[in-house]
Amino acid sequence: MRTSGLPAFAENLRQLPANLKASFSRHDAPTSDRSRSQAVFSNLFLHIHSTRTHVNSLRLRATFGLGVAAFSLFMILVGTGILLMVYYTPSTDLAYNSMKDIHYIVPTGRFIRNIHRWAAHLMVATVLLHMCRIFYTASYKAPREFNWILGMILLVLTLALSFTGYLLPWDQLAFWAITIGANIAASPRELTDALGITAYFDPGGMQKELLLGASTVGQDALTRFYLLHVMVLPLALSAVAGVHFWRIRKDGGLGRPGVTMTAAGKGASVGVPATMPEDAPRKTYGLMCVVRDRSEATDQDPIDTVPSWPYLLRAELLVFMVTMFACVALALISDAPLKEMANPAVPENPAKAPWYFLGLQEMVSYSAFMGGLIIPVVVILGLGLIPYLDREPEDAGVYFSGPRGRKVALRTTVFATIAAVLSVAIPVNYGWLRNWFPGISQLVVILINPGSLLTAAYAAWSILVLHRTGSTRLGAIALFTCFVVGFVILTYVGTSLRGPNWDFYWSQADWPVH
């Protein structure tokens, strides 16, 4: 006799909510340390954390939460960006008006736009600060060299995102900032022109054409920038950030005193002969705190560690909330600007890029090729190679690596400040080569300018420190501090002391009215 399937069906129906819930997560209800650890371990989104976290990594001073804040800002940007895309139209005829609609008509449009704008500013600042904290705590040391490089890539992607986003409103500021930016890409022409070979070899023109799809900023440029801004760069940044986080775990968690990584960090387990055959799985899944290999608790007692759920997750949530609060507060206080619609006939005066590019613009005002291309590339390469050129083994997590480092940083700050101020004050007061020697060769004017001399002075200072102290770490501290000071001072000059015609003014009140 066949029994009816109905009772089983009814029972399944009754169990549906419970079974749905059970199938949704791969772990028990997170009620104990053990089940919470299991949750962190087996959940796709949580397993980027290790199950236990060292207490020192949770201290505010260890990270100031800057990495997590940078990522929070990225998530906020993605969220608000998608909302803006609902109305934004990437066409030269419509873009400006759709921005205006968003700003003045769309419900909450202005608020969302403001958050997007502020989060972008904050993200650049946060990423830079995060880089400073990594550097000064020596967290780039082996085995974390490669994560430093991934970080540099993230920095470049972050800057590229804000550069491409800047064009989208299609207002005067956008149009002229991107015209200038695209011509910086074309600036190798200065050199090829001076050598008289542009007709045969024109890498500058090629770069500009790839960027703009035309010879001037127009519809093709807008289409390309839009594509980069909403698709290519965010996807690239997400992918690289994923690897960045994964490497933190694989490199043994955040660096901290007392756990200098040895060769063991590269994968071989300490005390186990390399030739020993693999036995069982190398991770002991049951006892989550005794994970072998390049994990935070490799062959150490789980002493001084706490479960990541709740301690780490709570800290991250706190950072996220603070970041969110900052964006919302700033968005309520201050509106994102929208100038007149782009007009290719009349440049904005002064045409200023966003603040983090103004140090660059200051150097570009000496020479587009050196200031806009060569010096930035040298700086990025120089910073990127720091972990490979300073390999002194050292505990991560001590700011400035102790009193000697602090002294070097202090002296470097004084030197770098004087050099940067001179590099601005001399040309402002006395002019530069062309004013002194009219008719001087163009090649000399391009190569020898205040920006390149400043860069050379910084390099020389760092080498001097390296030579005198006999320590590559102290040399690196000198170099990085020079970079920070130079960046801050030139950015300040570009932001606050430059007015119409890029002339020097002590305050905006002195700008001529026009």
Q: Which residues bind ligand HEM (CB under 6 A)?
A: 63, 66-68, 70-71, 74, 127, 130-131, 134, 139-140, 144, 147-148, 151-152, 154-155, 158, 241, 244, 248, 254-255, 396
For other proteins, give the closer residue by CB, 210 or 377: 210
Which residue from 203, 302, 350, 384 is in contact with other proteins, where contact means CB under 8 A? 350
Which residue from 50, 72, 137, 183 is in contact with other proteins, where contact means CB under 8 A? 183
Which residue from 31, 429, 501, 507 is in contact with other proteins, where contact means CB under 8 A? 501
For ligand HEM, give the closer residue by CB, 102 or 248: 248
Contact 497, 505 (CB under 8 A): yes
Map residue 171 onto helix, strand or coil: strand
Task: Tell me the C-alpha to C-alpha distance, in Å, between residue 164 and each of 177, 342, 443.
Answer: 11, 16, 31
By a kind-dependent CB cut-off of 5 to 8 A, residue 215 interacts, out of other proteins, ligand HEM, none, with other proteins
DSSP assignment of 446-486 equals HHSSHHHHHHHHHHHHHHHHHHHH--HHHHHHHHHHHHHHH
Residue 327 has a CB neighbour count (10 Å cut-off) of 25
By CB under 8 A, the count of residues binding other proteins is 45
The least CB distance from residue 499 to other proteins, in Å, is: 10
For ligand HEM, give the closer residue by CB, 104 or 399: 399
Residue 208 has a CB neighbour count (10 Å cut-off) of 24
The least CB distance from residue 153 to ligand HEM, in Å, is: 8
The least CB distance from residue 334 to other proteins, in Å, is: 26
For ligand HEM, give the closer residue by CB, 152 or 351: 152
CA distance 313 to 174: 39
Does 130 interact with other proteins (rule: CB under 8 A)? no
For other proteins, give the closer residue by CB, 159 or 445: 445
Q: What are phi and psi of 164, to 5 degrees?
A: -70, -35
Residue 292 has a CB neighbour count (10 Å cut-off) of 15
Does 367 interact with other proteins (rule: CB under 8 A)? yes
Which residue from 213, 234, 302, 384 is in contact with other proteins, where contact means CB under 8 A? 213
Does 13 interact with other proteins (rule: CB under 8 A)? no
Angle between helix 203-212 and helix 219-227 axes, rounded to 10 deg = 80
CA distance 205 to 302: 59
The least CB distance from residue 513 to other proteins, in Å, is: 15
Residue 440 has a CB neighbour count (10 Å cut-off) of 14
The least CB distance from residue 81 to other proteins, in Å, is: 23
Residue 321 has a CB neighbour count (10 Å cut-off) of 11
Map residue 306 onto helix, strand or coil: strand
For ligand HEM, give the closer residue by CB, 366 or 483: 483
The least CB distance from residue 376 to other proteins, in Å, is: 15
Does 6 interact with other proteins (rule: CB under 8 A)? no
Q: What are phi and psi of 67, to 5 degrees?
A: -65, -45
Residue 263 corresponds to which tokens in the numbers above?
Answer: 């060769």
Task: Tell me the C-alpha to C-alpha distance, in Å, between residue 127 and each of 25, 60, 121, 356.
Answer: 34, 17, 10, 12
By a kind-dependent CB cut-off of 5 to 8 A, residue 180 interacts, out of other proteins, ligand HEM, none, with other proteins
By a kind-dependent CB cut-off of 5 to 8 A, residue 224 interacts, out of other proteins, ligand HEM, none, with other proteins
At position 447, the amino acid (one-letter code) is: L
For 147-152, which contacts have Cβ atoms below 8 Å and span 24 or more sequence positions?
A: 147/244, 147/247, 147/248, 147/251, 148/384, 148/386, 148/387, 149/384, 149/387, 150/240, 150/243, 150/244, 150/247, 151/244, 152/380, 152/383, 152/384
For ligand HEM, give the closer residue by CB, 61 or 468: 61
Residue 41 corresponds to which tokens in the numbers above?
Answer: 């371990």
Which residue from 106, 149, 445, 478 is in contact with other proteins, where contact means CB under 8 A? 445
The least CB distance from residue 420 to ligand HEM, in Å, is: 22
The least CB distance from residue 256 to ligand HEM, in Å, is: 7
Which residue from 93, 335, 340, 503 is in contact with other proteins, where contact means CB under 8 A? 503
DSSP assignment of 83-145 equals HHHTT---STTTHHHHHHHHHHTSTTHHHHHHHHHHHHHHHHHHHHHHHHHHHHTTTTSTT-H
Non-local (6+) Cβ contacts of 180 within 8 A are 351, 353, 361, 364
By a kind-dependent CB cut-off of 5 to 8 A, residue 112 interacts, out of ligand HEM, other proteins, none, with none
The least CB distance from residue 170 to other proteins, in Å, is: 17
Name residue, tokens 């803006």.
Answer: 84
By a kind-dependent CB cut-off of 5 to 8 A, residue 35 interacts, out of other proteins, ligand HEM, none, with none
For ligand HEM, give the closer residue by CB, 138 or 465: 138
Contacts with other proteins, 23-52, as mask; x by CB under 8 A: ------------------------------
For ligand HEM, give the closer residue by CB, 232 or 448: 232
Does 360 interact with other proteins (rule: CB under 8 A)? no
CA distance 245 to 259: 19
210-242 as b/e: b if 16+ CB within 10 A: ebbbeeebeebbbebbbebbbeebbebbeebbe
For ligand HEM, give the closer residue by CB, 296 or 362: 296
**Residues binding other proteins (CB under 8 A):** 176, 179-180, 182-184, 187, 190, 193-194, 206, 209-210, 213-215, 218-220, 224, 345-351, 361, 364-369, 431, 434-435, 438, 442, 445-446, 500-503
